[in-house]
Amino acid sequence: MASETESGLPIKPVYGPSSLQGWDPATELAEPGEYPYTRGVYPSMYTGRPWTMRQYAGFGTARESNERYKQLLNAGTMGLSVAFDLPTQMGYNSDHPLAHGEVGKVGVAIDSIEDMRVLFDGIPLDQVTTSMTINSPAAILLLLYQLVAEEKGISSSDIGGTIQNDVLKEYIARGTYIYPPAQSLRLITDIFTYCRAEIPKWNTISISGYHMAEAGATPVQEIAFTLANGIEYVRAAVESGQDVDDFAPRLAFFFVSRTSIIEEVAKFRAARRMWARIMKERFGAKDPKSWMLRFHTQTAGVQLTAQQPEVNLVRVAVQGLAAVLGGTQSLHTNSFDEAIALPTEKAARLALRTQQVLAYETDVTKTVDPFAGSYVVESLTDEIDEAAMALIERVDELGGAVAAIEEGFQKSEIENSAYRVAQEIDAGDRVVVGVNEYTIDGDEHYDPLQVDMSIEADQVARLAALKADRDNDEVERLLGVIRDVAAGDENLLYPMRDALRARATVGEVSDALRDVWGTYQPKDAF
């Protein structure tokens, strides 16, 4: 019976030398840390130090999330990764009617600089890097982080981290967009320019395939559409007058890691090679740092099950191993209970311990690119490279990522893949342990983490107190400046920073941009 990879590529029972006929290791591989970086972006990879271990966390109030961050740091995590609630992601204050029932649910509620102070209270921002999963309001949360660091006496040149800031994938797969694509791209390029001048260590964007994979994208679609979005961001920045080598070294990527170890390893290796070629050949980048695809990985939440949740511990360990063998720069391992609710403290600690076992109890950190030269991995790396480049060429033919998004191309391709997988699971052709095979009778008892419903009222009260205490005339004046700059072509982050320092809220700054730019309505909206 013929087998296929997750991407639908044929996979043979046996691979050998004939699988790599015509393959030139000098061209395709090179050494680790050398173009085209198939074997890794750094010469020593994990033999010098392990990947950065992050745990994505945030829920309820800023104070509750602050306590979880301190627990994770004490448990050995190397960097923070902040989850924001849906109102914050959509640029709404906690007192907005659309925020009702969602405050603090899937992440932490941040309405103003006062919440940001509490969120990072007692955390040395010059010693810990922070990744923030925020997109449309990314500039606002970045500026709040910068302002809080300055209040602690920490120079902006000493803080480091990443904002996701990848709005294009929101139109494709996730939906937390606010503004139309052209205006979103303008804001992103303003962030590139601002960070180069003000926060030079900051990674200005994390171009994300993870959410497309969660929506059903295959590994080939994941890297193809992610790199196509990357091309669009680079093109927009260059067209705004920036030199590619001024901003490209701060670009980062974010991928999923599934349980299909062999294909995932090949996917990561192919993505590095493809991006190196794109930056060098398409954009003429000369700085080797501009050619490097540095990426964060998260294990596949979509593959976790509510049935027999402890089995997810095995899945996450396998997925984490695939990411490490593929050469990730940082990793978040999901908690085993995430298919049920927000992770408990114990589950989050176990997820971190999984990474620590991989780093310190196995031998995967002792050599660079352990699968180099493997007949199956090298063959699949080539096949994924070829298939993903073909998809990128289709996006190019449609006029680029934005034009393809407006045609619904990427969304349609991903939905078709998701439907195929759902059919296979329903038919029993794809085994999901505990769901359609190896099931047990009855429900297992599990006590999930509960978010206190009083959080929303507390946040609304905090907002009311803030508005009563600040200089509202000055805030309104500064919001007017944002509107004026949004209508022109100056860098928006400077007037936004002034307004946030004066205690304008996330929702008010977002609304100032909505007043000028409007909101995006997709073609298939109804």
The residue ranges of every structural domain in the chain are 3-36+149-427
What span, in angstroms and rounded, lies between the C-alpha atoms of 461 and 479?
22
- Owner of token pair 């998809």: 391
Instruction: Indicate the pLDDT class of residue 524, thresholds 50, 70 and 90.
Output: low
pLDDT in tens, 169-196: 999 998 999 999 999 999 999 999 999 9
Cα 65 to the chain's mean position, in Å? Answer: 19
Does the domain spanning 3-36+149-427 belong to CATH 3.40.50.80? Answer: no
pLDDT in tens, 142-155: 999 999 999 999 99
pLDDT above 90: residue 108: yes
pLDDT in tens, 230-250: 999 999 999 999 999 999 999
Cα 146 to the chain's mean position, in Å? Answer: 20
Instruction: Indicate the pLDDT class of residue 315, thresholds 50, 70 and 90.
Output: very high
- Smallest CA-to-CA distance from 315 within 298, 291, 327 is with 298
DSSP bridge partners of 433: 437
pLDDT in tens, 495-522: 999 999 999 999 999 999 999 999 998 8
- Smallest CA-to-CA distance from 147 within 499, 510, 467, 508 is with 499
How much is the average pLDDT of 71-87? Answer: 92
Give the chain's mean pLDDT.
Answer: 94
Phi, psi torsion values for 434, nearest 5 degrees: 90, -10
3-state secondary structure of 387: helix
451 vs 291, which has greater pLDDT? 291
How much is the average pLDDT of 470-489? Answer: 98
How much is the average pLDDT of 315-323? Answer: 98
- Report the predicted TM-score, pTM, of the whole model to 2 decimal places: 0.94
- Smallest CA-to-CA distance from 355 within 72, 51, 69 is with 51
Count of alpha carbons within 13 angstroms of residue 20, beta-carbon side: 18
Number of neighbours of residue 30 by Cβ within 10 angstroms: 16
Instruction: Indicate the pLDDT class of residue 2, thresholds 50, 70 and 90.
Output: low
DSSP bridge partners of 10: 4
DSSP code per residue over 177-189:
--S-HHHHHHHHH
Contact 94, 459 (CB under 8 A): yes
- Owner of token pair 């995932």: 264
Question: What DSSP designation does 133 have?
Answer: E
